Structure 1
Amino acid sequence: MTPAVPVVRSLLETDLYKFTMWQALLHMHPNATGEYEFKCRNTPAYPLAELKEEVERELDHLCTLMFGADEIDYLRSLRFIKSDFADFLTLFRFQRKFIQVDTDGPHLRIRAAGPIVHVMGFEIFVLYIVNELYFRRFDRAAALQEARKRLAQKVDEFRAFEQEPKRQNPFEFFDFGVRRRFSGEWQEEVVATLARELPQFFKGTSNVYLAKKFNLVPIGTMAHEYMQAFQSFDVRLRDFQKKALEDWVQEYRGDLGTALTDVVGMDAFLRDFDLYFAKLFDGLRHDSGDPVEWGEKALAHYVKLRIDARTKRLVFSDALTVPKALSLYRHFADRVMTGFGIGTKLTNDTQFDPINIVMKLVRCNGQPVAKLSDSPGKGFSTDETFIAYLRQVFDQRI
């Protein structure tokens, strides 16, 4: 029997924000250690524990890969990637000793632990490895037939939307679907189709490999793990968001200016996002909670600070569909620039239910870290005592 083609094609095939966070932490906190844990938030069609041996083989393969010379050259071409970080990546290889796979009854357990600059990159690869292995057991031909039908419907939705009256700011959306995609080949087909059929709306992808291949803009700045890590650094817990934002400003000096707001909730974020940061960052990214309420809070905050919101951007990325993105655009587009990162509903929209899997930072420097989401069920921690303390410090009652 012919062995299956490995899931991971290139170390470049990950979200851009992995590289941007990686560089910042390498420069500012190179000695930090981290622990990441995998979790499935819904009930899969069959036990993920059955994938253990296949996942092990895929991780073995991942740990043989290195960046190619052309890939390093591409990263160097991005103005915010610094020369020493590119040199580091030239030598980088994932270490198998830093990641373990186990089972607990029907559940798959994956844990990566070690120096944070050596383990943080595992997350996206683990997620799309598990996803692709999971969906290989389904009827691939039937799934792709349905996926192509739904993709064509999305293209038609955008073309119908194009007939609407023009608003103050254009509609722009991006592919954020690496981690929960049906397969690498299908994501590539989706991105190629959108770039060909909807160039007026489709403005980039978080998948750096596909951005390079199709000459698209790679999209991304920071994720929760970056902010969470600062809960363990040498700063008062109450000040961790301000320290994380300040280090980002110092690292990127005006580039990559979209701040993530929901590590301890939008209200707590805005208390720290003062005039200094509001002027330095180009905008904010929504990833939990009611998006309209979130956006109105953001706009009110800019008004309070006497900043013209029309010069800022709100990026929405939480469980978006095309209708939801268009609805949010209609609500906000005359008052602020917008952007929409659509993930699962672009790259895994078939008749088969996707699995809701994550791999989150749970400890840093030997201390618990946590996310207090604005959406119940999206928070993540393994230490309830720390969660309670974090809620108390930031007056977060969810």
Structure 2
Amino acid sequence: MLPKTAVHLTSILDNDFYKFTMQCAVAQLFPNAKARYAFINRGNHDFPPGFGIALRQAVDAIATLRLCKEEKQFLLSNCPYLSPVYLDLLEGYQYDPTEVDIRQEGTNLQIHVEGYWYRAILWEVPLLALVSELYYELNDLPRDPDEEVSKRTANKIISYNKLGVTIAEFGTRRRHSYKVHRLVMEALKQHRGESFVGTSNVHFSMLYQMKPIGTHAHEWFMFHAAKYGFKLANALGLENWVEVYRGDLGIALSDTYTTDVFFRSFDKKFGKLFDGVRHDSGDPLSFATKTIEHYKRLGINPLSKTIIFSDALNYGKVIPIAEFCKGKIGFSFGIGTNFTNDAGVKPMNIVMKLVEAFPEKNTWIPVVKLSDETGKYTGDPAMIGLAKQLLQLT
């Protein structure tokens, strides 16, 4: 009989910030929409016997979490663009474990989430964090000592300080464990210098008194494709984001249907309204070149804008990007797994994606993500083919 695991979440804010910003926008604009998510085991990891049972226990325990008064006050003070109506909604929100279906057959794990989009949207990151932590615990995989994890993190941020770049921590979804994540945050805060500017994790933002970082994810544009069609997804996704946030949270994610398609919609209006764009797939130097040229065509000085690079980064990858962008365009970096799962064990390669959307008074529609790297395409093959045809992608 599998022992009851000690792995659990301690705060409803232990999640990426863009989940809350999107939840706020969804509740305002699409309160009747529904969504389905699926776990994707990219690394083909084998899960030990009883893993599904242990994960079920951890998921059921999440239902006890509530937004406390101190957490609500933190959001009120640091995120004025989140409406009071939304914060009241979040205060009354609780995870519903019946929205999560977990099945294990042999070493194969399946996880599906279904519910109203404004509710189901918060599940992705906590589920991935729980899967990762449970995987190491139940496989009894030893990690490096605390002191070594802290020292390694300190050396990294010291190196980034010497390089003269700004870095944010983006590693909740694939962290080794909550404890390792906290060790990393403590080291980053202690040795932050001018480089460390914050974290995407709202719980740790509050714990270490810094503003949370993030805007929106691929699912924002994927839903818009389901509701309005592939050709209008980027433009209306951006338009609706502006409608809710009126110029705040101004970094646009560009690669849901490839950057080339995104820039067809990213006209001078959006170029001026948004502070910059985020790179999440494909060659970063090619992306930077395209972005710089696009801003110049719009008559916008690229140095007044910022690219956030966030695709599986480490120090070695950051150096050439920084050298290329310096003096051409503003830039910063979001680093995830290399911070929160550099603990002496192999990081997992797992994701959870929106797979179907149910726009109001519609039907379930498969959604896809194409990205700038064909190996990262996700979704129904037939729908991927349709998207490529409609968007004139070869």
TM-score, length of structure 1 as denominator length:
0.93
Residue aligned with 1:14, SS: coil
Residues 164-211 of structure 1 show CA distances to partners (whole Å, capped at 9, x for unaligned) of xxxxxxx21100000000111111111121111123100000000000
1:208 aligns with 2:208: no
Residues 48-78 of structure 1 show CA distances to partners (whole Å, capped at 9, x for unaligned) of 6641011000010012211111111212221
Deviation of the 1:339 alpha carbon: 1.0
Residues 301-344 of structure 1 show CA distances to partners (whole Å, capped at 9, x for unaligned) of 00111111111000000000022123211210211111100000
Residue aligned with 1:232, SS: helix
Match for 2:392: what amino acid? Answer: D
Match for 2:204: what amino acid? Answer: L
Deviation of the 1:118 alpha carbon: 1.3
Deviation of the 1:240 alpha carbon: 1.3
Q: For 1:199-348, what aligned pairs fall within 5 Å after superposition?
A: 199-233=193-227, 235-348=228-341
The residue number in structure 2 matching 1:167 is: none
Residues 329-368 of structure 1 show CA distances to partners (whole Å, capped at 9, x for unaligned) of 1210211111100000001013311111111000001101
Residue aligned with 2:66, SS: coil
The residue number in structure 2 matching 1:61 is: 61
Residues 74-102 of structure 1 show CA distances to partners (whole Å, capped at 9, x for unaligned) of 12221111000001011111112211101
The residue number in structure 2 matching 1:16 is: 17
Deviation of the 1:152 alpha carbon: 3.9
Match for 1:292: what amino acid? Answer: L
The residue number in structure 2 matching 1:168 is: none
The residue number in structure 2 matching 1:128 is: 129
Contact 1:48 1:108 in 2 (8 A): no
The residue number in structure 2 matching 1:28 is: 29
| Pair 1:236–1:228, CA change in 2 (3 A) | closer
Deviation of the 1:121 alpha carbon: 0.6
Contact 1:40 1:356 in 2 (8 A): yes
Mapped to 2, the partners of 1:123 and 1:4 lie a distance apart of 20
Mark the runs of 5 or more structure 1 residues left unpaired by the alignment: 163-170
| Pair 1:112–1:143, CA change in 2 (3 A) | farther
Deviation of the 1:281 alpha carbon: 0.5
Contact 2:81 2:245 in 1 (8 A): yes
The residue number in structure 1 matching 2:365 is: 367
Match for 1:70: what amino acid? Answer: E
How many residue pairs get matched? 386
Residues 19-46 of structure 1 show CA distances to partners (whole Å, capped at 9, x for unaligned) of 10111111011100000000110133x4
Identity fraction in percent: 33
Contact 1:34 1:116 in 2 (8 A): yes
Deviation of the 1:379 alpha carbon: 1.7
The residue number in structure 2 matching 1:79 is: 80
Deviation of the 1:150 alpha carbon: 2.9
Match for 1:305: what amino acid? Answer: L
Mapped to 2, the partners of 1:323 and 1:142 lie a distance apart of 22
